């Protein structure tokens, strides 16, 4: 080898190792739900793919149960912005107190089916949402899914808004949920996931709403949540995201690897989140029934009563979220 080639080679080797030396020994990835919830599976898959594809240069560790923010899932976004959390796979609901656009997915009865959700996340709405997140110093890089949130309770079947009358319902951390359940005549109380399971078990609350996969893994039938109504009123996508300084520290090649791994892990997680509750595969619904869950599917007419009862809430929040964005979402859904 000629001398210049040796010098260039040495310089390249140096800069590569200097870059790797900038990398942290561990990147902390926050989630609310861990394995074997689809949410945790998606996060673990992301970490595994990145480790494999960077030959261990980027080492991500998943911290479930929002433990990096002492269980307070509505603080996850802020903690990631501050760098206490390096990365997260987070629910649109839990980040909506900081990013108002994320309330879009919680507008009651906006999205009738999985195709609607895809039309939003994979279309111009998804880009606008990512812009809003990026403005707050977080790099969003992909989508996964928690799922359609179905309502459950320990008292009786819910087929009309009147059945929610006076029920004490645990709701998640966006005030939009207080508005929805108040409009339906229930008595909502906001609570983190960490507090929800004990509150259900002791009967401190009568009901809750979460995807069927969450009901399944958390075995909510053993906490007395016998009655399940498939009303599909809202769904929460999950977003893969990285703190801005951490993102900026990665080489372009590594950025591409981390993003592609998030896309692959997202597709994997979405598959798990929808498994057993599609038109041609109802196996999860059947399995839950076999475990004692009493599952109600609403007729169009019954569903419409819930839509009507929550219309004012929809309109109020449409303005708060941004009427333009909601119009764009309605258009994407109608053209899906």
Stretch that binds ligand X2X, among 89-97, 152-160, 224-232, 243-251 (CB under 6 A): 89-97
76 lines the binding site for ligand X2X (CB under 6 A): no
Q: Which of 65, 91, 174, 332 binds ligand X2X (CB under 6 A)?
A: 91
Which is it for strands 168-171 and 150-153: parallel, antiparallel or unpaired?
unpaired
33 lines the binding site for ligand X2X (CB under 6 A): yes
User: What stretches of 149-252 adopt beta strand conformation (E)?
Assistant: 150-153, 168-171, 187-190, 207-210, 227-230, 235-243
Distances in Å between the Cα of 221 and the Cα atoms of 73, 191, 192, 194, 245 are 24, 20, 20, 18, 43
Contact string 239-278 vs ligand X2X (x = CB under 6 A): ----------------------------------------
* Residue carrying the six token digits 């260039």: 8
Cα dihedral 179, 136, 66, 89, rounded to 10, equals 100
Q: Which of 43, 47, 68, 93 binds ligand X2X (CB under 6 A)?
A: 93
User: Could you tell me how many residues of this chain bind ligand X2X (CB under 6 A)?
Assistant: 12
> Please, which of residues 179-208 interact with ligand X2X by CB under 6 A?
193
| Residue 328 burial (C-beta neighbours within 10 Å; 0-12, 13-18, 19+) | middle
Stretch that binds ligand X2X, among 86-94, 243-251, 256-264, 265-273 (CB under 6 A): 86-94
SS3 assignment, position 206: coil
Stretch that binds ligand X2X, among 91-99, 157-165, 250-258, 272-280 (CB under 6 A): 91-99
Between residues 197 and 255, which has the closer beta carbon with respect to ligand X2X? 197
Cα–Cα distance for residue pair 216/218, rounded to 1 Å? 6
Stretch that binds ligand X2X, among 88-96, 107-115, 248-256, 294-302 (CB under 6 A): 88-96
172 lines the binding site for ligand X2X (CB under 6 A): yes
CB atoms within 10 A of CB 98: 18
65 lines the binding site for ligand X2X (CB under 6 A): no
CA atoms within 13 A on the CB side of 270: 20
Which positions lie near ligand X2X, rule CB under 6 A? 32-33, 73, 91, 93-94, 146, 172, 193, 210, 214, 236
């Amino acid at each position: 080898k000629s001398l210049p080639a040796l010098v260039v080679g040495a310089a390249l080797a140096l800069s590569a190792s200097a870059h790797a030396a900038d990398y942290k020994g561990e990147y902390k990835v926050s989630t609310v739900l861990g394995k074997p919830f689809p949410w945790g599976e998606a996060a673990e898959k992301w970490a595994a793919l990145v480790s494999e594809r960077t030959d261990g240069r980027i080492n991500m560790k998943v911290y479930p149960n929002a433990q990096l923010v002492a269980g307070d899932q509505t603080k996850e976004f802020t903690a990631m912005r501050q760098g206490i959390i390096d990365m997260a796979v987070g629910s649109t609901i839990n980040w909506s107190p900081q990013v108002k656009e994320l309330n879009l997915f919680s507008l009651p009865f906006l999205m009738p089916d999985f195709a609607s959700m895809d039309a939003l996340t994979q279309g111009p709405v998804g880009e606008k949402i990512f812009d809003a997140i990026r403005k707050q110093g977080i790099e969003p890089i992909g989508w996964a899914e928690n799922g359609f949130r179905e309502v459950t309770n320990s008292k009786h079947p819910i087929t009309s808004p009147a059945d929610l009358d006076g029920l004490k319902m645990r709701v998640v951390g966006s005030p939009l949920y207080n508005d929805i359940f108040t409009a339906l005549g229930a008595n909502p109380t906001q609570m983190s996931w960490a507090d929800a399971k004990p509150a259900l078990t002791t009967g401190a609350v009568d009901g809750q709403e979460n995807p069927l996969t969450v009901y399944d893994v958390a075995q909510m039938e053993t906490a007395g949540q016998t009655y399940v109504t498939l009303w599909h009123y809202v769904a929460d996508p999950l977003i893969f995201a990285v703190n801005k300084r951490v993102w900026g520290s990665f080489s372009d090649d590594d950025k591409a690897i981390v993003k592609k791994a998030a896309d692959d892990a997202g597709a994997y997680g979405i598959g798990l989140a929808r498994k057993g509750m599609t038109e041609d595969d109802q196996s999860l619904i059947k399995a839950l029934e076999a475990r004692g869950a009493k599952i109600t599917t609403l007729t169009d007419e019954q569903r419409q009563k819930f839509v009507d009862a929550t219309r004012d809430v929809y309109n109020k929040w449409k303005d708060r979220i941004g009427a333009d964005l909601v119009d764009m979402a309605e258009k994407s859904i109608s053209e899906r």
